[in-house]
Amino acid sequence: MDCGKLTESIYERSVIKVIKTNSTENRKFYDGAGLREDCAILAGNKVTDDVCAGIMSGQALASGTDSRVAARAYIAATNHLITCCANAAASGLVDTYANVTLMVPERLREIKVRGMIEAATIQAEETGIPILSCNVQVLPMLTEAVATCVVNAGVEKGDNGVVTMKKRALVDEDIVMTKWIGLEGTAVMAAGSKRQLCARYPADLVEEAAGFFRELPIAAEAACAVKSGASYLQMVREGGVFGGLWKLAADNGVGLVIDLKSIPVRQETIEVCEFFDLNPYELLAGGSLLITTANGGELVRKLEKAGVPAAVIGRTTQGNDRIIRHAEESRFLEPARGDEIFRYFKINNKTGVLED
């Protein structure tokens, strides 16, 4: 199997079908929370004035040897929570906290482990969601560090005393994308292969690419989109923007028509991907949101006024066709098969040049 998340077909037959078939309790949670989702809401059985209406949970995984691997998992999990809260139109979150697990290879030195934990705690301080527990394990079979994070929050009851479940994208809406594609993947590669990249590109370009970590939180654009009346928010990450677009269409039962030229990309990402012969449209894309809304141009102006670059990249359509247009040519979007960041890890594990 390919690295990364299981393909849609394998997941359906070997995970969803098995879990739903073998347990009544699992079926109950599947129907309520959404198995395969990275964030879900579980509504409580009883709501009183002093009890929250339910529990919201976001989870994420990150891998690599960069010092921000645990921080990236933390940011991704909080981003999932923010997106889910926005889509649910929840009235508020209470008692929010994070649990982090970090698994590292034997060859990793203690000072690097300490740096990973420090980066996560600094991010927690900036975000305002504390890390309640952190488990670190050294495992002999690993070649990179693997971090997982789960963020839990109580959901306050809405005006009607219950949790409002997720909004959905509608047919014939604009699709707006914030920031640029491949931000997280570009930052990981630039931080992990600085010497290689600086041999070809100017040092300031490589440093700027490594600094894309600062773009990963999405709270500002999510808040702006919700205030502007957006229909649906889809966090983009593994599988890149193409993976995010496929998920948006599949989860909402809509088709897509996307203009490839309209998808924003930084020159640093193009250069780094060219160096490693990777596809930037299928590269780890933490830091970006896909938003559906009736008036994409108006939302783009509001986002840019709030300091968040964005662009209208296409529209939702009736049916199941997911089409990518480039000039006069059109092709069908296909399900993501892993993420290009795992090809990068394979290349560098063979050469032994991971630096960060």
CATH number, domain of 262, equals: 3.90.650.10
d(CA 288, CA 124): 20
Q: Quick one: 134 and 272 in the same domain?
A: no
Please check whether residues 97 and 188 belong to one and the same domain. no
In a domain, 14, yes or no: no
Give yes or no: residues 191 and 328 share one domain: yes
How many domains is the chain built from? Answer: 2
Q: Does residue 293 share a domain with residue 204?
A: yes
Does 194 lie in the same domain as 150? no
What per-residue confidence (pLDDT) applies to 279? 97
Instruction: Tell me, yes or no, whether 319 and 190 share the same domain.
Output: yes
Judge if 237 and 294 occupy the same domain: yes
Specify if 16 maps to a domain: no
Per-position DSSP letters for 174-185, written without gaps between them: EEEEES-TTHHH
Instruction: Classify residue 23: in a domain, yes or no.
Output: no
Which tens digit of pLDDT belongs to each residue from 20-46?
555 454 455 444 455 456 665 555 544
Q: In Å, how far from its chain's centre is CA 237?
A: 3
Assess whether 302 and 221 both reside in one domain.
yes
pLDDT tens track for 130-159: 998 888 999 888 888 999 999 988 776 655
Strand order in the sheet with 93-105: 39-43, 54-64, 145-155, 93-105, 131-139
- Domain span holding position 272: 174-351
Place of tokens 């359509």: 317
Pick the last residue of a domain from 121, 155, 189: 155
pLDDT of residue 48 exceeding 90, the answer is: no
Q: What is the DSSP string of 240-305?
A: HHHHHHHHHHHHHT-EEEEEGGGS---HHHHHHHHHHT--GGGS--TTEEEEEES-HHHHHHHHHH
Q: Are residues 232 and 320 in the same domain?
A: yes
Task: Indicate whether 62 belongs to any domain.
Answer: yes
Three-state DSSP class for residue 95: strand
In a domain, 167, yes or no: no
Q: Which residue do the tokens 């529990």 mark?
A: 55
Residue 105 and residue 189 in one domain: no
pTM of the model: 0.85
* Residue 67 within a domain: yes
Q: What angle do CA 157, 158, 161 make, to 5 degrees?
A: 65
Residue type, 21: T
| List of E strands, the chain | 39-43, 54-64, 93-105, 131-139, 145-155, 174-178, 232-236, 255-259, 288-293, 310-317, 322-326, 329-332
Q: Do 88 and 180 fall within a single domain?
A: no
- For residues 75 and 108, state if they share a domain: yes
Q: State how far the Cα of 134 lies from the Cα of 149, in Å rounded to an integer.
A: 9
Query: How confident is the model over 77-107, as pLDDT tens digits?
Result: 999 988 888 876 555 667 888 999 999 998 8
